[in-house]
Amino acid sequence: KVLFYDFVLKETPIEMLCETNRSVITVNGLFPGPEIRAHKGDTIYVNVTNLGPYGITIHWHGVRQIRYPWSDGPEYITQCPIPTNSSFLQKIKLTEEEGTLWWHAHSDWSRATIHGPIIILPVHNTNYPYEFDKQHTIVLSEWYARDTKDIIDEALESGGDPELSVAYTINGQPGDSYPCSNDSVYNITVVQGKTYLLRIIHAGLNEEMFFCIAKHNLTVVGMDGAYLKPLNTKYLMITPGQTMDVLVTANQTIDHYYMVFSPFVDSIAPSNENITRGIFQYSGSKSSETPALPELPGFKNKSGAGNFTTRLRSLNSEEHLSTVPTNITRNITITVSVNEQPCPANKTCAGTDGSMLSASLNNISFSTPSISILQAYYNNLPGVYNKTFPNEPPFVFDYTGNVSALGEAANVSTEVLMINYNEEVEIRLQGTNIGVAENHPMHLHGYSFYVVGMGDGNFSDSYVSDYNTVDPPYINTVGVPKNGWTAIRFKADNPGVWFMHCHLERHASWGMDTVLVVGDGKLKHQKVYPPPSDMPPCTVS
Ligand code: C2O
Ligand code: CU
């Protein structure tokens, strides 16, 4: 089936906390934005019209966009921004994804208010691999007191940390722990004995979060648009960018229970020690007992976080088989770091000891070009990017002990990683930050990948024999421990230009990004499609 949606970006007044007349940019006047609902196999056209004050792009997070990077969306990677008062028709083909994904703006920090769900139902006349009575979509977000474009522009200018969000919201509602918000509490009404599918999307900018519902067991059955083996748990650990499909059965006794999102930050104070609460309300209940707050791991509870993530397994059933690459032809190691740069002479920087904060992959801090890398690649334009992203870190040190190399400033440039069509790729992501920073939710566009291994400390070749190549989770965003490692695998069968970056906006803005350029195959159906005629223009300055 072919479906059509209209997205209109415009300034919209939103009442939040105690403010009544602030405007933010939304899609169709909604926060969170409109839901796209389709079946696996459908094709969706979204006509994006920008009536906002500056250029913006929209990305379909987790949709592979096979051979069609033109609609993927990251600004200056696959397209230039859609200028004010113009439109771009984006095409989204749902070929292999099934479950919950989402869409969001991909220009600076504008995704704070420009995001929404993509719900992908099973192919017509097929079933879910689990049972439930009713479903709800839960979009978690972070709310900022000022325009996020100003916040990040000022932080980059001053070389320091950007200001923090002031609240977390569930479907746009901060909940009763925030000022002026008693009437703005997300509420699900449930019926005793019924089972609910919660489609949870972490659209927040900068914090990993725990989620739970007091006194209720959760069963995670899907993640990032693929099914999982049912995992029973008291709480979820979810990073920005990730989505989770969770079953919960209403089997408790009192009138209502709190559901809670609270931040997980391993080493520094969380941006917001607040939590956001919603209500799980039993319909027709007579009990007047006051509900207790649920117990969650504390905001610094690292083993609480790790215990959850390392238990995830893909479903790997007959209908939903895992196909983990086992003949790796390309092995890449990438260090993931938060760095400090010397402060430029004409600036005053607010980083540690007057330095400027930056972030890097293999010690390269990504510099965003001013025309799109995809257009430069497709039309053979020189001078936009270099093909020299290193296959290995430039220096090696003991990431858990000897921290002397942490003083290295990163090189600022636009380097891309060239990959041949159909290579079986393994990427080992090594966190290098011992004292500072937090886990890095690394996200890859154009692919989902299998997480075959993860652990604390330095990666070692001896870990390869312990990889899970049978049923590892198949996801698009993985939390790389800040001082540990994660190994991912995928087959490079989707040619194009694909962004890879930390999904904490703070780190992405500081340069924790790179681009994978996957070449065309020899056959006609292995090549990138030609561009549509209405690509937003790139003006070469
Ligand atoms: Cu969810 Cu590059 O994005
Ligand atoms: Cu990060």
Q: How far is the CA of 206 from the centre of ligand 2 (A)?
A: 9
Confidence (pLDDT) at 463: 96
Q: What is the pLDDT of residues 457-469, one digit of tens each?
A: 899 999 999 999 9
Confidence (pLDDT) at 539: 77
> Among 119-123, 196-200, 256-260, 395-399, which stretch is predicted with the lowest mean pLDDT?
395-399
Ion ligand 2 neighbours (CB, 5 A) are: 440, 502, 504, 507
pLDDT at 303 over 60: no
- Clarify whether residues 400 and 270 are in a common domain: no
Task: For Cα atoms 4, 5, 7, give the angle at the middle one, nearest 5 degrees.
Answer: 155
Q: How far is the CA of 207 from the centre of ligand 1 (A)?
A: 15
Strands 513-518 and 416-419, by their bridges, are parallel
Atom of ligand 1 nearest to the CA of 74: 2
Q: How far is the CA of 393 from the centre of ligand 1 (A)?
A: 24
- Clarify whether residues 472 and 461 are in a common domain: yes
Q: How far is the CA of 494 from the centre of ligand 1 (A)?
A: 17
The average confidence (pLDDT) of the chain is 92
Confidence (pLDDT) at 294: 75
Nearest ligand, measured from the Cα of 105:
1
Last residue of one domain, picked from the residues 293, 318, 343: 318
Number of domains in the chain: 3
Residues sharing a CB contact under 8 Å with residue 267, sequence separation 6 or more, in sequence order: 300, 435, 436, 437, 438, 482
Rounded-to-integer distance, Cα 49 and Cα 3, Å: 17
Share of the chain above pLDDT 70, in %: 93
- Clarify whether residues 2 and 40 are in a common domain: yes
Atom of ligand 1 nearest to the CA of 104: 1
The answer as to whether 419 is a domain residue is: yes
Confidence (pLDDT) at 284: 83
Distances (CA, A) of 529 to 36, 68, 71, 254, 341: 24, 6, 11, 57, 40
Confidence (pLDDT) at 405: 52
Confidence (pLDDT) at 183: 92
Last residue of one domain, picked from the residues 68, 98, 126: 126
The answer as to whether 323 is a domain residue is: no
CA 508 from chain centre, in angstroms, equals 11
Q: How far is the CA of 508 from the centre of ligand 1 (A)?
A: 10
- Clarify whether residues 371 and 434 are in a common domain: yes
- Clarify whether residues 375 and 508 are in a common domain: yes
CATH number at residue 375: 2.60.40.420
Indicate if ligand 1 lies below 6 Å from the C-beta of 501.
yes
- Strand stretches in 115-217, DSSP E: 115-121, 134-143, 167-170, 187-190, 195-202, 208-213
Last residue of one domain, picked from the residues 287, 318, 349: 318
The band of 307, judged by pLDDT with boundaries at 50, 70 and 90, is: low
Residues sharing a CB contact under 8 Å with residue 142, sequence separation 6 or more, in sequence order: 112, 165, 167, 168, 169, 204, 205, 206, 207, 271, 272
Q: What is the pLDDT of residues 44-88, one digit of tens each?
A: 999 999 999 999 999 999 999 999 999 999 999 999 999 999 999
Over range 365-390, report the average pLDDT.
Answer: 96
- Clarify whether residues 61 and 198 are in a common domain: no
Over range 254-278, report the average pLDDT.
Answer: 75
Alpha helix segments (H runs only) across 310-379: 373-378
Over range 390-413, report the average pLDDT.
Answer: 75
Q: What is the pLDDT of residues 88-99, one digit of tens each?
A: 999 999 999 999
Atom of ligand 1 nearest to the CA of 111: 1
Rounded-to-integer distance, Cα 292 and Cα 322, Å: 41
pLDDT at 436 over 70: no
Q: What is the pLDDT of residues 442-454, one digit of tens each?
A: 999 999 999 999 9
Share of the chain above pLDDT 90, in %: 79
Peptide bond into 32 cis (omega under 30): yes
Atom of ligand 1 nearest to the CA of 102: 1
- Clarify whether residues 5 and 136 are in a common domain: no
Rounded-to-integer distance, Cα 506 and Cα 480, Å: 16
The answer as to whether 220 is a domain residue is: yes
Indicate if ligand 1 lies below 6 Å from the C-beta of 235.
no
The answer as to whether 35 is a domain residue is: yes
Q: Which residue has the tokens 């970056």?
A: 501
pTM score, whole prediction? 0.96
Indicate if ligand 1 lies below 6 Å from the C-beta of 227.
no
Distances (CA, A) of 440 to 2, 91, 136, 398, 399: 36, 30, 28, 19, 15
Per-state percent for the chain, helix, strand, coil, to nearest 5: 10, 40, 50
pLDDT at 305 over 70: no
Q: What is the pLDDT of residues 484-511, one digit of tens each?
A: 899 999 999 999 999 999 999 999 999 9
Question: Domain range for residue 375?
Answer: 330-526
Indicate if ligand 1 lies below 6 Å from the C-beta of 115.
no
Nearest ligand, measured from the Cα of 498:
1
DSSP state of 493: -
Indicate if ligand 1 lies below 6 Å from the C-beta of 111.
no
The answer as to whether 185 is a domain residue is: yes
pLDDT at 267 over 50: no
- Clarify whether residues 135 and 102 are in a common domain: no
- Clarify whether residues 91 and 180 are in a common domain: no
Over range 276-296, report the average pLDDT.
Answer: 80
Q: How far is the CA of 367 from the centre of ligand 2 (A)?
A: 16
Q: Are 505 and 206 in contact (CB under 8 A)?
A: yes
- Clarify whether residues 370 and 310 are in a common domain: no
- Give the number of other CB atoms < 10 A from CB of residue 177: 17
Burial class (CB in 10 A: 0-12, 13-18, 19+), 537: middle
- Clarify whether residues 387 and 487 are in a common domain: yes
Task: For Cα atoms 536, 539, 541, give the angle at the middle one, nearest 5 degrees.
Answer: 160
Confidence (pLDDT) at 438: 75
Indicate if ligand 1 lies below 6 Å from the C-beta of 202.
no
Confidence (pLDDT) at 541: 47
Indicate if ligand 1 lies below 6 Å from the C-beta of 445.
yes
The sign of the CA dihedral 472, 478, 482, 487 is positive
Strands 115-121 and 474-475, by their bridges, are unpaired
The answer as to whether 446 is a domain residue is: yes
Atom of ligand 1 nearest to the CA of 499: 2
Indicate if ligand 1 lies below 6 Å from the C-beta of 499.
yes
Nearest ligand, measured from the Cα of 57:
1
Rounded-to-integer distance, Cα 475 and Cα 209, Å: 17
pLDDT at 232 over 50: yes
The band of 269, judged by pLDDT with boundaries at 50, 70 and 90, is: very low
Atom of ligand 1 nearest to the CA of 62: 1
Confidence (pLDDT) at 508: 97
The answer as to whether 422 is a domain residue is: yes
Q: How far is the CA of 372 from the centre of ligand 1 (A)?
A: 16
Residues sharing a CB contact under 8 Å with residue 409, sequence separation 6 or more, in sequence order: 339, 340, 341, 342, 358
Confidence (pLDDT) at 457: 87
Which residue's CA is minimally distant from atom 3 of ligand 1?
61
Helix and strand counts by DSSP (H, E) for the chain: 4, 32
Q: Are 100 and 90 in contact (CB under 8 A)?
A: no
The answer as to whether 540 is a domain residue is: no
Q: How far is the CA of 226 from the centre of ligand 2 (A)?
A: 24
Q: How far is the CA of 504 from the centre of ligand 2 (A)?
A: 5
Atom of ligand 1 nearest to the CA of 477: 1
Q: Are 414 and 385 in contact (CB under 8 A)?
A: yes
- Clarify whether residues 78 and 145 are in a common domain: no
Residues sharing a CB contact under 8 Å with residue 91, sequence separation 6 or more, in sequence order: 43, 44, 45, 68, 70, 71, 532
Nearest ligand, measured from the Cα of 104:
1
> Among 204-218, 270-284, 350-364, which stretch is predicted with the lowest mean pLDDT?
270-284
Q: What is the pLDDT of residues 81-128, one digit of tens each?
A: 999 999 999 999 999 999 999 999 999 999 999 999 999 999 999 999
Rounded-to-integer distance, Cα 170 and Cα 117, Å: 13
The band of 270, judged by pLDDT with boundaries at 50, 70 and 90, is: very low
